[in-house]
Amino acid sequence: MASNIANVSATNTPTETDPSCEEPVNNNNQSENDSESSALDDLLADSKIYYNNAKQYWSNVAPTVDGMLGGFGSISFIDIRGSEQFLKHLYKQKPAPGRNRALDCGAGIGRISKNLLLPMFDHVDLVEQDEQFCQTARTELADYGSKLGTVFNEGLQNFIPEQGRYDVIWAQWVLSHLTDEDMVQFFNRCGEALARGGMIVIKENFTTGNVVDVDRTDSSVTRPLLQMKQLLKQANMRVVKEQRQTSFPKELYPVYMLALRPTIKK
């Protein structure tokens, strides 16, 4: 599983004022769609190879903030501030989540746990597939003492969180490494892992059209926002708040934050 990274769009460089960033647009170029679909099918032909390739890629990435963010370490402060404001708005929801325990998914070296979750929650668990990143996170977050919970060294496609444990589950720049099927199953498990009133928050890159962008370098896919919402519906998740991250460099994909709750209330 990946850690936190802001992938650069090689073909789409929308600005903050580009109206195409607000809603997915139709792409009527059938040959382009067929080509992208073929590339995606080829990449996902063997999920074991797909996940192993991603694991191999991340094993060669430096355990630093710049490494986690694909060379865009300078956006970390803006990213955290945007997430912080979004999270604070969620506590105006009724019922609001608790503040006992959060889960950081695809946690990398603990950048989000350190700067966002640990200051806001009594306890934070992390899940990260790269062993070196896990060790770095334990070292970086050692000063938080008992507030730092368990650091699970496991990929999200296999991770099974404890039922009813988490007030907030945060997944950022990691879902692009899950296949559609595994992502639906992941959200199903996360729904079971929420405490009463709990929420899942995803923060991800999205394409501006209706075509999935394939990245063979790190074995990932960037989905359209509409497709993500369709997968969430399959996983019996509803979006309770949606917001676009602002002030990122224009060469990055549009990034949206979605707060989710299970369709079926506990």
Binding residues for S-adenosyl-L-methionine, as ranges, are 106, 111, 156-157, 172
Q: 1: Cβ–Cβ under 8 A, 6 or more apart, which residues?
A: 51, 54, 55, 106, 127, 128, 129, 130, 154, 155, 156, 157, 174, 177, 178
Alpha-carbon span 176 to 40, nearest angstrom: 12
Q: Is 28 helix (H, G, I), strand (E, B) or coil?
A: coil
Query: Among candidates 66, 86, 109, which has minimal Cα distance to 168?
Result: 86
- Distance from the Cα of residue 155 to its chain's centroid: 13
Token pair in block for residue 15? 């600005």
Binding-site annotation, residues: 106, 111, 156-157, 172
User: What residues does 257 pair with on adjacent strands?
Assistant: 203, 243
- The token pair at 6 is 């802001």
Give the strand pairing for 220-222 and 213-215. Answer: antiparallel
For residue 163, give the nearest of 240, 263, 88, 262 by alpha carbon.
262
| Among candidate residues 210, 238, 242, the one with its CA nearest the CA of residue 226 | 210
Report the b/e string of 26-56 with b at 16+ CB within 10 A: eeeeeeeeeebeeebeebbeeeeebbebbbe
Contact between 149 and 125 under an 8 Å Cβ cutoff? The reply is yes
